[in-house]
Amino acid sequence: MPEPMSAPAALPLWWVVVLPFLLVAVAAAVVAADASLTARARGARADVLLPVREAGRLLVGQRRRTVAADSVLWRAGGAVLPVAAVLAGVVLPLGLRPVADLSVGVVWFNAMEVLAWAAVWMVGWGPNSALGLVGGYRFVAQGLAYELPHMFAIITAALGAESLRPTDIVAAQRGLWFVVIMPVAFVVYLISATAMAFWGPFDAPVGRDVAGGAAAELSGVDRLVFAGGRRLLLVVAVALAVPLFLGGGAGPWLPAWLWVAVKTAVLLALVLLVRRRFPTIRADRFTEVAWIVLVPLTIVQALVVALLVLNRGGAG
Amino acid sequence: MDEFVPVLAALGVVVAAVLLLYGAARVLAVRPPALEIVPFSGGLAPTEHAFSRFHVRWYPVTMVFLAFDMEMIFMYPWTLVVSRIGPSAVIEMFLFLGILLAGVVYAWREGALRWT
Amino acid sequence: MDLRRLLLRLAAARPHVLLVALPGATEARLAVEAELGRRGWPAAVSPADADVLLVAGPAGPALAAVVGRVWEQMPEPRVRVVVEVVADVSGTLDSAASQLASWTAARPEYGGPGPREQEHRGPEHGGDEHGGHGGGMEMPGGLPMADLGEDRDGLMLDRLHVALGPVLPDWPAGLVLRVELQGDVIQEAEAEVLDPGRGGSSRGDVPAAEDARHAAARHLDGLARFLGVAGWADPAARARRLRDDLLAGAEPAAVRGQVHALTARVRRSRTLRWLVRGIPAGERAVAARLADRLAALDAAVDGAPPAQPGPSRPPDLAALARAVVGAELAAARLVVAAVDPDTDLVAEERGARHA
């Protein structure tokens, strides 16, 4: 077993109140940055207040319920997204320490992420709408493609540290960031994190071709919770790549929390730019690639890391 | 189990935040929810309920996925003991993965991963 | 309430506009899209997401009913406006925004029908037509459930009847595709154009002998819509911007470099090729039709003489319906966008069914 931690490594409990606001602020910055890129392509002016305008618009907007809707599943599905995103976010080291320092942190993170699967399907099914139904099922198919490469990528990082605790994984990268010995896992992690947040180019479940798909019938605060939850999920999923592969808060001169912020911002910017470079990748094409290319690649990557771990164990 | 205290607290906070948001919207929304809205598919009225048995043509993928998903349950704890158990742990795990991969290749050749 | 007023004002600076394009009124649609692009106002993809319902052109009886239904589906605050004269666009949008900014619940609904509760909710066709397994049971909303039917693998599965269009993003004006879905595969399709032949003119202000500028603008518009359906928003926005520049009077030679950069980017994309590969769309596949469009666009800005002007033929709706049978919904949307039927040219009521 790994040695017991010497000191409590979690942040003070009041951070559970700060964390959601912190994540919402980052998500709002993502929305603003993305919209300004969109405006530039179209030749319009960027607008810093945009996240506020959009949130305000949905807060004053009327909610609606469709004929014979399955309201329980529909509303629960929307609310699950932000809840799952924040609960996954508790294991993120914000600097040196996370809000909750779980010994099974990465498993917890994975478990929370997977809730998105159910959530999007429920939101698509709920309104009794044909386009919503198609969108919901698109996400299930997409999940079957991205989920395994995603888990293998996470497990590879855990294997490199021989721990499921994110702070241990960061500590294990003191000498060498994991991105160096597991570049494939890093790239696959980012691809699958984007797919999990059904962010472009994996946005078919809420695609324009099906008039918003799973989200087609959402208005008012229901839409705010769903759309906000999706951005939170994107932020949290991308942010975990920092402790898993980029050494967490390690770096010269700056304090750890600032390094975490800088690295997360760089990864989020990368994700936003990638979305502009690719058309929507549909699950009916992606599934084959995921299973025949990404799964074997991540398994080979895990094997390489396992051999490195054996070698290290033998030497030490 | 102490380490889960912040998790439970976070659950409480975020659930409360979502409820608060709904409460705020209840006060701020210009009108109470509209009921009995016809679902949208382009502007014509639906002729049937959309709730139906959706033909999931990728169901073979779900079967292959389940096999791997079970495997994950073994792999998480396995990461903790690799160097303690030594080479046999690595050999056994990747032999197992290899067998599963052979199944994936078979499913692929049978066309299970393509449905269009 | 002050906070509500503040939020309404903040939101009204960027309302989401659901644009209903009508056959024969392409000019109005282009003018509206150009103005929305300049303002950076997003185009809503569904009524649930819309603040402004903008009807571009005069609606015939069938489309007026569609507009009424979409209006009913929109959440409040909402404003409905009609653009018939192109010069009006900016003023119309301004007035819509100011109505949203000063929206109060007491405001009588602009041009809306009576209260929602009084609207007739019955199915459009009799419930017996599809006679589902509801038996004699009263189904909620007066709608039947989907009925069983054999799928392409010979399994008995639910067949859901859905009318796609005419109000969908990047969708030909007035087109309705009545499809039978199993899962998201189209088993049967029927295409028609609502209220056809009302505009008289062909697409846009395009004269019979089309000059290079309008040819380029038309191809840029088609390309933008295709890329929009393919989910590639960035080059789609660039194509729209170039189209608007051309229609605002830019010389094709002046935008040649940008157009070539755009077509080269689309051609270079291995991902797009992979995504549109192997999707048949009638006589030419989707990928081939896209290549045709890119080549025609390049030729138009290079000043090549436009291809044989020839008499414009109305689109073959029966062939379109045939082309989407067996396709997934996503592929069917690509097919429609690649074929890009010019619904302005459909002269009379016509429909086509394919089983």
The residue in chain B having the minimum alpha-carbon distance to the alpha carbon of residue C7 is: B28
Which A residues 52-71 touch C at CB under 8 Å? Answer: 52-54, 56-57, 59-64, 67-68
Reduced to 3 states, what is the DSSP secondary structure of residue A44?
A: coil
Number of domains composing chain B: 1
Q: Is the pLDDT of residue A229 over 90?
A: yes
What amino acid is encoded at A2 in this protein?
P
DSSP annotation of C105 reads T
Q: Chains near B, with 3+ CB pairs < 8 A?
A: A, C
In this prediction, residue C128 carries a pLDDT of: 38
Q: Which of C76, C184, C228 sits opposite A137 (nearest CB)?
A: C184
Task: Kindly determine whether residue B40 and residue C75, on different chains, have CB atoms separated by under 8 Å.
Answer: no
Q: Which of B45, B47, B52 sits opposite C69 (nearest CB)?
A: B45
- Give the residue with greater pLDDT, C323 vs C126: C323
**CA–CA separation, C238 vs C220, rounded Å?**
9
**CA–CA separation, C241 vs C318, rounded Å?**
33
Strands (DSSP E) found in A170-294: none
Distance of CA B14 to the CA centre of its chain: 21
Task: Kindly determine whether residue C141 and residue A68, on different chains, have CB atoms separated by under 8 Å.
Answer: yes
Q: Number of B:C CB contacts under 8 A?
A: 120
Nearest to A168 by CA among A228, A114, A91, A231: A91
Neighbours of C122 (CB within 10 A): 11
**ipTM confidence score:** 0.91
User: What ranges in C209-316 are assigned the alpha helix state H?
Assistant: 212-229, 233-247, 252-268, 270-276, 286-301
* The Cα angle at residue C180 between residues C178 and C185, in degrees rounded to 5: 115
What count of residues does chain C have?
355
How distant is the Cα of A69 from the closest Cα of chain B, in angstroms? 9
Task: Kindly determine whether residue A133 and residue B54, on different chains, have CB atoms separated by under 8 Å.
Answer: yes
Q: Which secondary-structure segment (H or E) carries C181?
A: strand C175-182
Q: Which of B6, B52, B87 sits opposite A13 (nearest CB)?
A: B6
The residue in chain B having the minimum alpha-carbon distance to the alpha carbon of residue A63 is: B33
Q: Is C281 on the interface with B (CB under 8 A)?
A: no
Neighbours of A277 (CB within 10 A): 14
How distant is the Cα of A263 from the closest Cα of chain B, in angstroms? 24
Q: Please provide residue C161's backbone torsions phi and psi, each rounded to the nearest 5 degrees.
A: -95, 120
Q: What is the mean pLDDT of chain C?
A: 81
Residues facing residue C158 across a β-bridge: C148
**CA–CA separation, C353 vs B49, rounded Å?**
23
What count of residues does chain A have?
316
Task: Kindly determine whether residue B108 and residue A288, on different chains, have CB atoms separated by under 8 Å.
Answer: yes
pLDDT digits (tens, 9 = 90+) for C292-309: 999 999 988 887 766 655
Q: Burial, A289: exposed, middle or buried (Cβ in 10 Å; 0-12, 13-18, 19+)?
A: middle
pLDDT digits (tens, 9 = 90+) for C99-157: 998 887 655 454 444 444 334 444 443 333 343 444 445 566 677 777 767 666 666 67
How distant is the Cα of A118 from the closest Cα of chain B, in angstroms? 15
* The Cα angle at residue B8 between residues A223 and A171, in degrees rounded to 5: 100
DSSP letters spanning chain B: -GGGHHHHHHHHHHHHHHHHHHHHHHHH-SSPPEEEEPPPSSBSPPSS-S-S----TTHHHHHHHHHHHHHHHHHHHHHHHHHHH-HHHHHHHHHHHHHHHHHHHHHHHTTTT---
How do the domains of chain A map onto residue ranges? 15-315
Q: Which of C145, C165, C185 sits opposite B52 (nearest CB)?
A: C145
DSSP letters spanning A151-179: HHHHHHHHHHHT-S-HHHHHHTTSSS-HH
How distant is the Cα of B64 from the closest Cα of chain A, in angstroms? 9
Distances (CA, A) of C340 to C281, C293, C315: 11, 11, 9
Q: Which secondary-structure segment (H or E) carries C162?
A: strand C156-164
Which of A8-17, B72-81, C241-250 is predicted least confidently? A8-17
What is the band of A10 on the pLDDT scale with cuts at 50, 70, 90?
confident
pLDDT digits (tens, 9 = 90+) for A19-52: 999 999 999 999 999 998 888 887 788 888 899 9
Task: Kindly determine whether residue B49 and residue C124, on different chains, have CB atoms separated by under 8 Å.
Answer: no
**CA–CA separation, A117 vs A214, rounded Å?**
12
Looking at the domain covering C2-117, what would its CATH class be? alpha beta
Taking CB atoms and an 8 Å cutoff, what residues of chain B touch C327?
116
- CATH number, domain of B53, equals 1.20.58.1610
Q: What is the mean pLDDT of residues C165-183?
A: 90
Which of A15-19, A265-269, C282-286 is predicted least confidently? C282-286
Distances (CA, A) of C71 to A219, C105, C239, C261, C294: 14, 16, 30, 40, 37
- Give the residue with greater pLDDT, C49 vs B55: C49
Which C residues 234-293 touch A at CB under 8 Å? Answer: 234, 237-238, 240-241, 269, 271-272, 274-275
Residues spanned by the domain of B17: 2-109
Question: Residue B72 contacts by C-beta under 8 Å, 6 or more apart in sequence?
Answer: A148, A151, A155
| Whole-prediction pTM | 0.90
What is the band of A86 on the pLDDT scale with cuts at 50, 70, 90?
very high
> Is A89 in contact with A236 (CB distance < 8 Å)?
yes
Whether omega before C207 lies within 30 degrees of 0, making that bond cis, reads no
**CA–CA separation, A23 vs A268, rounded Å?**
13
Question: Residue C342 contacts by C-beta under 8 Å, 6 or more apart in sequence?
Answer: C172, C202, C203, C312, C314, C315
Taking CB atoms and an 8 Å cutoff, what residues of chain A touch C234?
37-38, 41, 276-277
Task: Kindly determine whether residue B18 and residue A137, on different chains, have CB atoms separated by under 8 Å.
Answer: no
Candidates A34, A49, A60, A221: best to mutate against C (most CBs of C within 10 A) is A60
In this prediction, residue B70 carries a pLDDT of: 85
Q: Is the pLDDT of residue C163 over 70?
A: yes
In this prediction, residue C155 carries a pLDDT of: 66
Q: What is the mean pLDDT of chain B?
A: 89
> Is C75 in contact with A62 (CB distance < 8 Å)?
yes
Q: What is the mean pLDDT of chain A?
A: 91
Greatest Cα pair distance, chain B, in angstroms, is 66
Question: Residue C21 contacts by C-beta under 8 Å, 6 or more apart in sequence?
Answer: C29, C56, C57, C173, C174
B115, part of any domain:
no
How distant is the Cα of A84 from the closest Cα of chain B, in angstroms? 9
How do the domains of chain C map onto residue ranges? 2-117
Taking CB atoms and an 8 Å cutoff, what residues of chain A touch B49?
68, 128
Q: What is the mean pLDDT of residues C75-103?
A: 88
In this prediction, residue C152 carries a pLDDT of: 63
Give all strands of the β-sheet with C185-193 in edge-to-edge order. Answer: C147-150, C156-164, C175-182, C185-193, C351-354
